[in-house]
Structure 1
């Protein structure tokens, strides 16, 4: 597992650095959206390029590549990495489940009187792995590597949960013919995988066709990225000598996508979607159940869900804390799980078509993620420096 773990360390470094870039992109979007450039910014996003607006190209096409990488990471970790055994999956898996359920309950509690707002119940259920690891990177060796691995594993499982939620709950009216076409292309990809075909260009070509058909089917087009990822062949470590890992199509594609996704695609998404105007913003937003429900779900839901699940498992003797980690450090990491920026924004845009509701969602995401990130950082910052795992 030496090579696999070094790959995971490289993943952590890329995600952490990408998180810092994402922070800059989000801040720039807020500045531009509240400057004289705001009309140009918003009109550019609405401009059509071919059949889709620029914003839709970003959210439906570029983010499909992001979901492709998410799918590759999930498959690799389950087959050959930190989630390859049930003992390794238990702690981050149950913590991720708690971190999805409790935020949803808190959101629903705030919005139970508004049926139109209930569609956004899943918004605070997601953790932004790039943002969270970016904050952790600022702490250096104060946080043991085992906690960084725990957070990344939790966020990967969290992403899988978000993908399932999007596919089930945020699917528009289905186009049966396009869906049948997508299933046919999936069958071809499955056959290529089954017969051991390992040339990436053909997989990617069918992946483009799959994306078009899924887009037309009514299922969100980004799901095509995950489906394609699951069909990319992987060579597990025990099956081949360590030096042969580089020929695994999944490892090659994942390695090729990490930098452009972390430093180009996700920051572009953040810049395009984080821009919200504060003109006309009044103190009344503090009482807006939609915004407050999202913020409270991220800040308190993730804290109680993740930390509560870990506490129950460890106290019951079913799992151990990550190596060299303390309870206060786990508390800090649980708070960082409340940074829900990228995936929360994505689900919010799927949940609501009304621009005013989308803006209220963005207020909640920005406030909740900021508070979760700041409090998590402060908790971890005050902990005594420990030897890295």
Structure 2
């Protein structure tokens, strides 16, 4: 074998292999597994003898002088790379609203109301527990946030036959939830806002919208503009990922005559492998590594004995489940909003439990709420415990629903009584409380 034929160590993969990896990362299951693997790696690494070397990489600083930004690697990941994920989430939400499961207002409003219930009830649970135990009310916002990346990852790994409407419901709920949590950070945990930078970001978004309306194409227009909008949003004091969500919602999702793909579809196709394979796993690695370093055995032992961490655990596990499910049910019962006919209320309850995964934004709010106090470590431990419990219980509930829908699919051609309805269908309705 000559030198030109030898495989290079850590070199660039051949084009066919890169294409195969990109195709794999575009599937939700593979992306979810990569994210969960990064979480396990982070927590293991954080408690290993090699944690010091990782700390040095995480805290290394570099910047872009033209933008006046000098951030650590961790912050570039959390505020920069993660914006790509939120851009894709915004695109998916726009598609669902325009042509997907949420295209009717009556169906779209239900997950929005559920999201508000999923924010208000956990905050109320925390305040009740903290007040009853004589604890601090400062952490009321910690259990409000659902981690959209982890929740979608768990659903992707579990779901093989669950209705697509379930993912659309979770996506809408989680985006509204995260935007609400970011608004809380901006109002209650930000000392000041730079309104000039915020005005510049809004102006940039208006220009972005005009370019879309005028059918202007070419990445050389949108890439510099998007980076400028992101930098201004970050400088304003508002969480920079908001820029990604808004740009995703502004992208055109309907193809014009003669177009092979819409701008939103092209953007998602190009960026999805980077988001699933690099941005989100790196964010999970840094965020959970930081949490893992500070979580000691003592902190874990006090999660259920001190009012503040106990309020976080109960808020994320019980409060989220009750708030999301009750919000959706009451909206469907007393307003014109209605549950998607492809879903059952049992599906919504499993999704409500899944909403208790609060990793990243909850950790961020906890750090801001208890800066400089010993409670910060215990609250981080509480978020990790509650998120793990919610993921485990939701996995059990949704796997049961997934198995039921798989049986329905298998029975669609098995109509023994000749009435055109699979015999197992009535059983699914009875156990799920709704329609398929």
**TM-score normalised by length of structure 1:** 0.82
Question: Alpha-carbon deviation of 1:300?
Answer: 0.6
Do residues 34 (structure 1) and 47 (structure 2) align?
Answer: yes
**After superposition, what is the alpha-carbon deviation per residue over 1:182-236, rounded to whole angstroms, capped at 9, x for unaligned?**
344344334434433233331220121222233333333333323433443x043
Rounded Cα–Cα distance in structure 1 between residues aligned with 2:180 and 2:322: 18
Which structure has more relative contact order (CA 8 Å, sep 6+)? It is 1
The residue number in structure 2 matching 1:5 is: none
The residue number in structure 2 matching 1:300 is: 318
Aligned length: 375
CA radius of gyration, larger in: 2
Question: CA contact under 8 A between 1:170 and 1:220: conserved in structure 2?
Answer: no
- Aligned counterpart in structure 2 of residue 210 of structure 1, from 229, 235, 254: 229
Quick one: structure 1 residues 44 and 286, their matched pair in 2 at CA, closer, same or farther if it must change by over 3 Å?
farther
The residue number in structure 2 matching 1:281 is: 298
The residue number in structure 1 matching 2:389 is: 371
Do residues 44 (structure 1) and 57 (structure 2) align?
Answer: yes
**Structural mapping, 1:1-389, within 5 Å:** 14-50=27-63, 51-112=70-131, 118-141=137-160, 143-232=162-251, 234-236=252-254, 240=256, 244=259, 246=261, 248-275=262-289, 276-277=292-293, 278-279=295-296, 281-282=298-299, 283-316=301-334, 318=336, 321-323=339-341, 325-349=343-367, 351=369, 353-354=371-372, 357-382=375-400, 385-386=404-405, 387-388=408-409
Partner of 1:52, secondary structure, is strand
Question: Alpha-carbon deviation of 1:371?
Answer: 0.8
Cα RMSD between the aligned structures?
3.4
The residue number in structure 1 matching 2:4 is: none
Quick one: structure 1 residues 213 and 157, their matched pair in 2 at CA, closer, same or farther if it must change by over 3 Å?
closer
Partner of 1:49, secondary structure, is strand
Question: CA contact under 8 A between 2:359 and 2:383: conserved in structure 1?
Answer: yes
Rounded Cα–Cα distance in structure 1 between residues aligned with 2:204 and 2:337: 42
Question: Alpha-carbon deviation of 1:270?
Answer: 0.7
Q: Which runs of 5+ in 2 are unaligned?
A: 1-22, 64-69, 410-435
Q: Which runs of 5+ in 1 are unaligned?
A: 1-9
Quick one: structure 1 residues 66 and 326, their matched pair in 2 at CA, closer, same or farther if it must change by over 3 Å?
closer
Question: Alpha-carbon deviation of 1:327?
Answer: 4.1
Question: Alpha-carbon deviation of 1:140?
Answer: 4.4
Question: CA contact under 8 A between 1:100 and 1:302: conserved in structure 2?
Answer: yes
Rounded Cα–Cα distance in structure 2 between residues aligned with 1:23 and 1:227: 27
Question: Alpha-carbon deviation of 1:105?
Answer: 1.5
Question: Alpha-carbon deviation of 1:268?
Answer: 0.7
Rounded Cα–Cα distance in structure 2 between residues aligned with 1:148 and 1:64: 20
Question: Alpha-carbon deviation of 1:99?
Answer: 1.4
Question: Alpha-carbon deviation of 1:137?
Answer: 4.1
Rounded Cα–Cα distance in structure 2 between residues aligned with 1:201 and 1:71: 21
